[in-house]
């Protein structure tokens, strides 16, 4: 296999793993949004919608639900009075940590139950993905 084919397989299998664990664990709505804010910091509705590939009205509704749950706050944007900035709350950080812990436990269970995979294999996979993501950032 070429490097490009292997890289393509990595992306496909990583995405499939994420989808499989999400289906099994019934991830709460809005976790993607919490993850985006956690990764990138406070964001406006329009930017969140762009990143999530959703419409601005859909994102406004999703953010309103997250705010009702206490997972985010929505405040006026100091640079644009017509816009708002969405920030992760302590409760949102705790929910994101809970979901990530559940995902980690499930994947660790898969590795532990596999006949040939080891914790070292998992550590290698994490190191490779982390290095790829760090290299891809500006």
Confidence of residue 1 (pLDDT cuts 50, 70, 90): confident
pLDDT tens by residue, 2-56: 999 998 999 999 999 988 888 888 887 799 999 999 999 999 999 999 999 999 9
Instruction: Tell me the two tokens of residue 97.
Output: 């940590």
Number of domains in the chain: 1
- Domain ranges, residue 46: 3-136
pLDDT of residue 16: 92
Using CA atoms, how far apart are residues 131 and 119, in angstroms rounded to an integer? 18
Write the pLDDT tens digit of every residue in 59-111: 999 999 999 999 999 999 888 878 889 999 999 999 999 999 999 999 999 99
Counting every residue written for the chain, the total comes to 138
| CATH assignment of the domain containing 119 | 1.10.10.10
Backbone φ and ψ for 77, nearest 5 degrees, come out as -75, 125
Query: Structure pTM?
Result: 0.82
CB 34 within 8 A of CB 96: yes
Buried b (16+ CB within 10 A) or exposed e, 5-37: eeeeeeeeeeeeeeeebeeeeeeeebbebbebb
pLDDT of residue 28: 78
The pLDDT of residue 27 is 80
With cut-offs at 50, 70 and 90, classify the pLDDT of residue 58: very high
User: What was the pLDDT predicted at 137?
Assistant: 61
Per-residue model confidence as pLDDT tens digits over 99-138? 999 999 999 999 999 999 999 999 999 999 999 888 866 4
């Amino acid at each position: 296999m070429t490097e490009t084919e292997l890289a393509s397989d990595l992306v496909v299998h990583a995405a499939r793993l994420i989808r499989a664990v999400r289906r099994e664990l019934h991830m709460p709505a809005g976790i993607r949004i919490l993850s985006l804010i956690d990764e990138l910091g406070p964001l406006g509705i329009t930017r969140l919608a762009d990143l999530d590939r959703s419409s601005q009205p859909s994102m406004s509704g999703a953010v309103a639900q997250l705010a009702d749950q206490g997972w985010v706050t929505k405040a006026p944007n100091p640079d644009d009075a017509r816009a708002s900035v969405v920030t992760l709350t302590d409760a949102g950080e705790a929910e994101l940590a809970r979901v990530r812990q559940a995902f980690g436990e499930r994947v660790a269970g898969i590795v532990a139950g596999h006949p040939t995979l080891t914790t070292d294999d998992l550590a290698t996979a994490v190191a490779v993905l982390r290095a790829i993501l760090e290299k891809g950032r500006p």
